Amino acid sequence: MSHVILGLLMLWPQSLYELTKNFEAGASLFYSASTGSIKRALDRLVAQEHIEVGPEDGPRGKKTYAITDAGRAEFRRWMLTDPTGDLEPAVLARVYFLGLVDAPERQAVAARVEARIRRELDRLERLDAQVSAMQIPTGFEDIARYQLATLEYGLAVGRTALAWAQEHLPRR
C-alpha cells in the first residue's frame, strides 16, 4: 500500500480524505484500503521520511501530505523491481503508475510485469499437467470436476492477462 500512496502523491500533495477518495476512484480497481489503513501507511511513510506533512490548512486543521525526494527514489526503485506477491495488485499497481516513470524505463517495468504474468501462467500450466496425469479416486469425481474448474479459471485469467499485457504495455 505504501507504494500506491507514494504513486498517488507523485501526482500532487493530498490530504487523507483526498487519498481515500483517490483510492476509491482508481486504485481500488486493484487494491482495497480503508481510511485507517491509509492513515497507518501515511504515518509509516512520514517516519521513513518518504513523505512530509505540510502545514495544517483551514479551520479543521487538514493535513496535506507531500512526497519527498527520498519517497520519489523509493517509488522509482519499487517500480523497477520485479512484482512480487499476489499477481493482480503487484502487476496492476505498476501499470497504473507506469506514466510516472521516465519513458525509457517504462519498457523495463513492462518487461518485468509480463515476466511475472508468464511465471504465474507457467506455474498453473505445470500444475494442470500434473493434475491431468492423476487418477481420480472413485467417489471424488464431482469434487475433482469443480476443483479442476477453478484451475481452468486460473489458466484463463493468466492467458487473458498475458494477452492484455502484450497489447497494452510498451514493447522493446
pLDDT tens column, 101-123: 999 899 999 999 999 999 999 99
pLDDT above 70: residue 59? no
How many Å apart are CA 125 and CA 127, to the nearest integer?
A: 5
Q: Which three cell numbers stand for residue 114?
A: 509480463
How many Å apart are CA 73 and CA 69, to the nearest integer?
A: 6
Conformation bin of residue 61: beta by default, left when phi > 0, alpha when psi is -120 to 50: left
- The mean pLDDT of the chain is 93
**Contact between 92 and 79 (Cβ < 8 Å):** no
pLDDT value, residue 171: 81
Q: Which three cell numbers stand for residue 8?
A: 498517488
pLDDT value, residue 172: 67
pLDDT tens column, 11-57: 999 999 999 999 888 888 888 888 999 999 999 999 999 999 987 76
Burial class, 79, CB count within 10 angstroms (exposed 0-12 / middle 13-18 / buried 19+): buried
How many Å apart are CA 168 and CA 165, to the nearest integer?
A: 5
**Closest by CA position to 38, among listed 56, 24, 49:** 24
pTM of the model: 0.87
Q: Which region among 2-11, 133-142, 154-163 has the lowest average model confidence (pLDDT)?
A: 133-142
How many Å apart are CA 160 and CA 154, to the nearest integer?
A: 10
pLDDT tens column, 82-92: 999 999 999 99
**What is the average pLDDT across 67-88?**
96
Q: Which three cell numbers stand for residue 25?
A: 476512484
pLDDT above 70: residue 128? yes
